[in-house]
Amino acid sequence: MAIQGFYQNDRLANTDLAKSLPRVSDQLDSFRTYQWEIQFRNFPRPTKERLQKPEDLTLAAKKVTGIEISVENKTVDRVNDRLNYPGKATLGEMVVTFDNLYDHNTAVELFEWFKTIYDPVTGAQTIYSGRFRDTFKCQSVQVVELDNNLNPAQVFELYGVYPTKWSLSELNYSTSDMQTVEMSFKYDFMDAYRNSFVG
User: Within a domain: residue 60?
Assistant: yes
| The overall pTM is greater than 0.75 | no
User: Within a domain: residue 26?
Assistant: no
Whichever domain contains 80, its CATH number is 2.30.110
Name the band, by pLDDT with cuts 50, 70 and 90, for residue 128: low
pLDDT of residue 61: 78
- The residue-averaged pLDDT of 61-90 equals 90
pLDDT tens per residue, range 15-63? 665 566 555 555 545 555 567 788 888 777 665 544 556 677 777 778 8
User: Within a domain: residue 77?
Assistant: yes
User: Within a domain: residue 25?
Assistant: no
Query: What SS3 state is found at 54?
Result: strand
User: Within a domain: residue 43?
Assistant: yes
User: Within a domain: residue 39?
Assistant: yes
Distances in whole angstroms, Cα of residue 131 to Cα of each of 57, 164, 177: 23, 21, 41
pLDDT of residue 10: 53
- Total number of domains constituting the chain: 1
Name the band, by pLDDT with cuts 50, 70 and 90, for residue 95: very high
d(CA 41, CA 163): 14
pLDDT tens per residue, range 138-189? 888 998 887 777 778 889 999 999 999 999 887 778 877 777 889 999 999 9
